[in-house]
Amino acid sequence: MSVALKSVKHGDQGEPLVILHGLFGSARNWQGIAKQLSACYTVYALDMRNHGSSPHADEMDYQSMSDDVLAFMALEGLAKATIIGHSMGGKVAMQLALSAPDKVSKLVVVDIAPVTYQHNFDDVLVGLYHVPLDGVGSRKEADKYLAEKIDVPSLRQFLLQNLVSNTSGGYQWRVNLASIEEGMSDIMGFPLGQRGGNYHGQTLFIRGGKSTYVASRHQAAAKELFPQAEFQVIKKSGHWPHIEAPQEFMTKLTSFLS
């Protein structure tokens, strides 16, 4: 059963373009890119289920998340749209394109491949659970607890975007940790058995040169499902090229979209 996704809309001119964020992210991660794209597109940056301001749900499989996006498009009256997805959102975008190709004008997948990954986010979950939400009085204090489990400052700052105040004066995580933890095997996988046919529309895979998520060996799997796929690398970037190298990312993106 689909949930009603929250969104942030940028601009109201041009063809629709939908942005899907990654795991533990939200629409705000794409604010800078979305504002630039709004000069030519009507941009909808979505909060995926169990993230941001969107409702929580038990299921975290890609068909369910794809259905959420289709329901959002139907509600907004979008017959089709260009879809951009990063990481987990990239897998949602691919699932959407494969199962409902007529709804996708063009597809952009950022630093993820249509494969099952062996690693997981146990270290991140341990860090988030480690923060005593009833006892912390500030984000700085929460960061100190996170630092005991996660030693990468940029990752901690990214995760702390999910820390919000609650009505009782304390803090809470706005991501649904229980459902994410329960659905981790689905999140790390890719539902080839449910995918439908191939997607023959224009497709761009953008990966970070320092990232391990999209190796050259993954291109064959991507090309099989997306025969028109192009591949671009942003050499100095890691897993978040739209944040780490936004100018180069926009150059490659706009070249493909034009």
**Are 159 and 36 within one domain?**
no
The DSSP string of 165-181 is: E-TTSSEEESS-HHHHH
- The CATH number for 15's domain is 3.40.50.1820
Does residue 183 form part of some domain? Answer: no
Are 34 and 81 members of one domain?
Answer: yes
- Looking at the whole model, is its pTM more than 0.85? yes
The total number of structural domains that make up the chain = 2
Residue 186: closest CA among 95, 80, 55 = 95
Q: Which tokens in the block code for residue 165?
A: 């105040």
Those residues with Cβ within 8 angstroms of residue 33's Cβ, 6 or more apart along the chain or in another chain? 19, 242, 246, 249, 250, 253
Residue 129, φ and ψ in degrees, nearest 5:
-70, -25
Residue 197: the pLDDT is 79
List the one residue out of 165, 166, 162 whose CA is nearest residue 146: 162
Whether residues 168 and 226 fall in one domain: no
The domain in which residue 135 lies consists of: 122-178
Q: Residue-wise pLDDT tens for the chain (258 aa)?
A: 899 999 999 999 899 999 999 999 999 999 999 999 999 999 999 999 999 999 999 999 999 999 999 999 999 999 999 999 999 999 999 999 999 999 999 999 999 999 999 877 889 999 999 999 988 989 999 999 999 999 989 899 999 999 999 877 789 999 999 999 999 999 999 987 555 679 999 999 999 999 989 888 899 999 999 999 999 999 999 999 999 999 999 999 999 999
Looking at this protein, which amino acid is placed at residue 141? E
